[in-house]
Amino acid sequence: MPRRRRGAALGHAGSARGAAGGGERDIGLDEAVVSELAALPYEQAGPLLNERLAGGLRPTLFLAQLSNLMAGNISIVHGVTGSSRTFMGEEAAGADAVRIAAARLAEGRGGIALVGGAYVAGRWDMLLIYALSGLLRRGAWAPLAERAGAAQGGGMVMGSVGAFLVLETRSHAQARRARGLAELIVVATGAARRTGEDTARDSAAALVGNMRSLLRPGYAVVSGASGAAGPTEEEAGFLADLRDAGPEQGPVLHTAETMGHAVEASFPASLALAALALGRPEAPPQALVTGFGVWRGEALALLEPARDGRGAR
Amino acid sequence: MISSRDHLGRPVVAVTGVGLVTPLGVGVAESWGGLLGGRSGIRRITRFPVDHLKTTIAGSVDLPGDDAEGEAVPASVRVERFAALAAEEALAGAGAGILVDGRFPGPLFLGMPPVEVAWSLRMELARRAGNGGPVRYGAMAEAGIGSQQAFEACLFGGVGERLAVRFGTRGLPVSLSTACATGASAIQMGVEAVQRGEARTALCIGAEGTVEAESLIRFSLLSALSTRNEDPARASRPFERTRDGFVMAEGAAALVLENLEDARARGATVLGLVLGCGERADSFHRTRSNPDGGAIIGAMRSAIADAGLEPGDIGYVNAHGTGTPENDKMETLGMRAVFGDAPPPISSNKSMIGHTLSAAGAIEAVFSLLTMRDGRLPPTINHETPDPAINLDVVPNDAREAKVERVLSNSFGFGGQNVCLVLGAAPEG
């Protein structure tokens, strides 16, 4: 599997399925090309660009650039040979990968799925995109709460993360005597346009509508807030509304605080950490996992400790 | 009147609107007419310089303004344009009755290529960062801070979001890539959403717009492309002995899927049905099929089984048929394994429109529906020297009249992701 790429992948029952973003570029080649050609008029630069790329690109790198080949490589390495789907679209891709995998298990299309994502932060071709947004934190690392808002250049620190989950129906897990880490009660995604009154805060509130009656006092929040000023404030507002409406809210953990923001991998990683936390003796009764995309996409999941120490529904 | 539930008790999925953009033209009528006429949409590339390229031909879709101001329009912009054109036609075909308050009342599933930072943007950032000397990425990033429009153009979710706004689809748009099976995967996602009752209708799009120098070079490095540059119309030769690779192409297809019961209730014209979907991942190699054909055979069989049918029920196969030596050999192996000694006719749309990559599965699903509607099998053109290893009826060179009730449409992707669809004729009554 290529060491550097971003994306989210999801696997399914005796079959593979996945979701992803773009892969690595040849940074040195890109820099050499723009250094030589940027100042030339298009008529001159076009043919020279072809010449430099034809001489400089390598076939192996192309394969690392195709989003779906993360899932393809997982199929090869882990022998996942059923279906394989690769979703694209930043944070939402990771969240919808989980939602759709869970929906397929719930309707009986297979008993087990592999779902997750990976993102590599420490590359200029990746950072360039988020630099454009103006939302990256400048200067030294600081706790999320202390990061400057958009006025000071944004508060997002990216993080390299790979996170995959095995989702399994209870009967499938029981048949192979597997212990469940946690039970996935609900997962839902939303799409606020984030203009006017169509806010991310309201979108998340609509998602929580169906699960509000399921919330129990002391539920923990595993927040995927990115640190990007706007959506992070929206998420804080949503959590405050939720706290005010009750029941009593337990501890709130921001995964980007320790891992950085991992885009496609963010939601799967938060889910994985929540599942692990719920397996501990002093665990809260539930974990509400949130995901607020930097640009678009809201996601929520509710997890509970595995009943009878066994698998998901 | 057929039941509104299938053999597994799931809602039957109808297609009530289709739209096409292909190298043969913009719109269903022009594309389908060209295909039945055996016309090739492959031509010399004129949209950008082709100096130093091994392959200088493609099934390029050139819309007005594509080469505005001499600078190449970024691929993701073209993907979005083609997708929007196809979706508009599909929604018009489905009728205004499908909209609720002017909005499409279901999700969007968009199959498309990965979005890449355009060279024009990299050059622009380098100029802004310019100091006369070598430009590094860090300086380009610094120079680009706060370019919101450029940021949104680089996001993978951007195309889907803008289409979702435009057509008013519900929920998060789902964008996906399974390489050359992408378009079929987008349809499969929509079918599943309707089958499990999550949606009553879905807008499924496969779109491609990456005919550009860097993509051509990448595929050339894999020795995947035909180099018959001197005779573009004859370059794409699926199942033919002298085939030497595929021809890159672009375009889009959109399908409005709808619960059959709802479609009937609102009096919609049903163009056909999606009866079954099958998929198998190959764990053998990143670009090559396992020589045993297991994943291809498994995908075909599982689609037929998902439709509740037997191989003998399939009247025609819309081939993946890329024209690479490897694909066509493997597809033949799969056909013989699934259908035995009497396989149904199979033809490759790619002989005329080239390989539309992320759009192919969706475009070919639309052509499969039209095949049944009109009772005419599109040909495989450029069939001059038969390949003795391809023992199939490939509908050579000329369209053929044939009443077909069920079509299998194959899509096999790099990365080993194979998806097959079984499409059915519109039910009578």
**Contact call for A88 and B176, based on CB within 8 A:** yes
Q: What pLDDT, in 10s, does the model give residues A6-17?
A: 333 343 333 334
- The residues in B 78-117 lying below 8 A from A, measured between CB atoms, are 112, 114-117
CA gap A3, B408 in Å, rounded: 38
Share above pLDDT 90 across residues of chain A, in percent, rounded to a whole number: 67
Q: What pLDDT, in 10s, does the model give residues B100-124?
A: 999 999 999 999 999 999 999 999 9
Which stretches of chain B score pLDDT less than 50?
none
What is the reported pLDDT for B282? 82
Whole-number average pLDDT of chain A:
87
Question: Is the predicted pLDDT of residue A19 greater than 50, yes or no?
Answer: no
* Domain segments of chain A as ranges: 170-309
**Contact call for B137 and A68, based on CB within 8 A:** no
B166 vs A66 pLDDT, higher one: B166
**Contact call for B279 and A84, based on CB within 8 A:** yes
Asked if B155 reaches chain A (Cβ–Cβ under 8 Å), the answer is yes
CB-CB contact of A7 with A21 (8 Å): yes
Share above pLDDT 90 across residues of chain B, in percent, rounded to a whole number: 90
- List Cα–Cα distances, A115 to A162, A173, A272, B32, in angstroms: 11, 16, 11, 39
* Domain segments of chain B as ranges: 13-115+155-425, 120-152
Chain centre distance of CA A11: 15
Q: In chain B, which residues have their Cβ closer than 8 Å to the Cβ of A69?
A: 179, 286, 414-415
Question: Is the predicted pLDDT of residue A70 greater than 90, yes or no?
Answer: no
Give the global pTM: 0.96
3-class DSSP state of B411: strand
> CA-nearest residue of chain A to B71?
A42
B420 is known as an active-site residue:
no
* Of residues A197, A258, A192, the one with CA closest to residue A224: A258
CA gap A301, A313 in Å, rounded: 14
Q: What pLDDT, in 10s, does the model give residues B294-353?
A: 999 999 999 999 999 999 999 999 999 999 999 999 999 999 999 999 999 999 999 999
What is the reported pLDDT for B289? 74
**Contact call for B145 and A68, based on CB within 8 A:** no
CA gap B211, B62 in Å, rounded: 10
Residues in Cβ contact with B20 at an 8 Å cutoff, skipping those fewer than 6 apart: B26, B27, B28, B31, B32, B86, B89, B251, B252, B253, B363, B366
Q: What pLDDT, in 10s, does the model give residues A223-278?
A: 999 999 899 999 999 999 999 998 999 999 999 999 999 999 999 999 999 999 99
CB-CB contact of B50 with A50 (8 Å): yes
B277 is known as an active-site residue:
no
**Contact call for A34 and B185, based on CB within 8 A:** no
Q: Which two structure tokens, joined as six digits, stand for B204? A: 């499924």
What is the reported pLDDT for A309? 46
Q: What pLDDT, in 10s, does the model give residues A162-195?
A: 999 999 999 999 999 999 999 999 999 999 999 9
* CB neighbour class for B429 (10 Å; exposed up to 12, middle 13-18, buried from 19): exposed
pLDDT confidence bin for A69, thresholds 50/70/90: confident
pLDDT confidence bin for A153, thresholds 50/70/90: low
pLDDT confidence bin for A20, thresholds 50/70/90: low
Q: In chain A, which residues have their Cβ closer than 8 Å to the Cβ of B130?
A: 38-39
DSSP result, B349-362: THHHH-B-GGGHHH
Distance from CA of A25 to the nearest CA of B (A): 10
Q: Which CATH architecture has domain A170-309?
A: 3-Layer(aba) Sandwich (3.40)
CATH 3.40.47.10 for domain B13-115+155-425, yes or no, is yes
Handedness of CA B281, B283, B285, B289 (dihedral sign): negative
B52 is known as an active-site residue:
no
What is the reported pLDDT for A149? 58
> CA-nearest residue of chain A to B177?
A86
